[in-house]
């Protein structure tokens, strides 16, 4: 891994309170590792794969021009009364993984797909499950693995 990893943090803002907790956990982990972050906001989890693709293709922070070493995908879907939830969850997960694999780009997936709001809140909360922090840890570990194995950016 580079001395200071530069991470694209993609946040779906549909459930803002949950997104804020996920982001807080991810930011704490990245900052503790000495990394930097460029935050990218999207409306919902379905838009995460496209934003991730754009970050990779542009591969850099428009302000600094520094290339991204990896990405963290954050957001939440909570089951409702229709089958829309199933499609949104499946497509956001599949799309995020497809983009990461197609580009050999380290991505920590912190997209929550929960049957209830209470479960989503528990998983997002930095003092409980802290899935945002876990997604950032996964991203940083994948960056290390990529470096260890000599995979070119």
Report if residue 99 sits inside a domain: yes
pLDDT digits (tens, 9 = 90+) for 80-94: 988 899 999 999 999
Report if residue 153 sits inside a domain: no
Which pLDDT band holds residue 3 (cuts at 50, 70, 90)? confident
CB 137 within 8 A of CB 25: no
Dihedral, CA of residue 145, residue 100, residue 42 and residue 22, to nearest 10:
-30
**Residue 108 to residue 4: CA distance in whole angstroms:** 17
CATH number at residue 101: 3.40.50.960
Q: In the structure encoding, which two tokens stand for residue 50, read together?
A: 């496209």
How far from 2 is each of 24, 52, 145, CA to CA, in Å? Answer: 23, 20, 12
Supply the residues annotated as catalytic.
84
Range of the domain at 45: 6-148
**Residue 27 to residue 46: CA distance in whole angstroms:** 22
- What is the pLDDT of the chain when averaged over all its residues? 93
pLDDT value for 134: 98
Query: Can you give the pTM of this predicted structure?
Result: 0.93
Report if residue 73 sits inside a domain: yes
Which pLDDT band holds residue 22 (cuts at 50, 70, 90)? very high
Residue the block writes with tokens 């970050």: 55
Report if residue 1 sits inside a domain: no
Q: How many structural domains are present in the chain?
A: 1
pLDDT digits (tens, 9 = 90+) for 55-82: 998 866 556 566 899 999 999 999 998 8
CB 141 within 8 A of CB 134: no
């Amino acid at each position: 891994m580079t001395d200071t990893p530069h991470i694209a943090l993609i946040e779906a803002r549909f459930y803002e309170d949950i997104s804020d907790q996920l982001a807080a956990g991810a930011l704490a982990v990245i900052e503790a590792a000495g990394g930097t972050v460029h935050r990218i906001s999207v409306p919902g989890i379905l838009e995460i794969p496209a934003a991730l693709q754009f970050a990779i293709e542009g591969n850099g922070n428009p302000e600094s021009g520094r290339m991204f070493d990896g990405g963290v995908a954050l957001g939440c879907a909570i089951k409702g009364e229709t089958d829309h939830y199933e499609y949104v969850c499946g497509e956001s997960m599949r799309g995020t993984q497809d983009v990461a694999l197609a580009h050999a780009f380290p991505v920590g997936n912190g997209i929550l797909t929960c049957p209830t709001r209470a479960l989503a809140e528990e998983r997002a909360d930095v003092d409980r499950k802290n899935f945002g922090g876990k997604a950032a840890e996964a991203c940083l570990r994948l960056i290390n693995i990529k470096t260890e194995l000599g995979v070119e950016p």
